[in-house]
Amino acid sequence: MGRAWVCFVFFVGCASPPAKVEPAKPDPAQQAAYLKTVEELAVLNRDTGEFLRRNRPEEAAAAITRGQPLQDRLLAAPHPTLAAMEAVSDREHYYARMLLSNHHDGWARMMFQKNASRWKAWKPQTAETARRLAEADAGIAECDRRLGR
């Protein structure tokens, strides 16, 4: 019995310590700062659209540039919200439109393609996501026509 006890103590001593349980990290997409960032990007997008409608490309370009760090923050979340994806999509749509106006058709196509991929993969599909996918596909088709000249 003594040897069995020694073996038991030996094997218990060799066992690895219990794994530490890390507390769950909060979802950044549910934080107030994330929601504020979504709203900031949405405002910049509205401004960009207005600048483009008023034929003020320099101001539109500045708004697009200011939106990049906001977009990066939104896309850094493991599961971005629909509102975040819409804001990112709008920014990239305006950027693609600006690239087209400057005859950078290949770069514009890449931006439209990112949006198309985003909305093809989005679950659940809705009428709005279908509209956005169709808009991106139309942009791709326009780029393809221009690149084919």
Binned at pLDDT 50, 70 and 90, residue 149 comes out as confident
- Residue by residue, DSSP assigns 7-75 as HHHHHHHHSPPPPPPPPPPPPGGGSHHHHHHHHHHHHHHHHHHHHHHTT-HHHHHHHHHHHHHHHHHHH
Provide the whole-model pTM. 0.81
> pLDDT by residue (tens digit) across 52-81?
999 999 999 999 999 999 999 999 999 999
Cβ atoms of 81 and 105 within 8 Å: the answer is no
Which pLDDT belongs to residue 104? Answer: 97
- Residue by residue, DSSP assigns 19-32 as PPPPPPPPPGGGSH
- What is 28-147's CATH topology? 1.25.40
> pLDDT by residue (tens digit) across 10-48?
555 565 666 787 777 888 889 999 999 999 999 999 999
Domain residue ranges in the chain:
28-147
Q: E strand or H helix at 106, and its extent?
A: helix 105-121
**How far apart are the C-alpha atoms of 1 and 76, rounded to whole Å?**
59
CA torsion through residues 121, 92, 71, 126, sign: negative
Which pLDDT belongs to residue 21? Answer: 75
Average predicted confidence (pLDDT) for the chain: 91
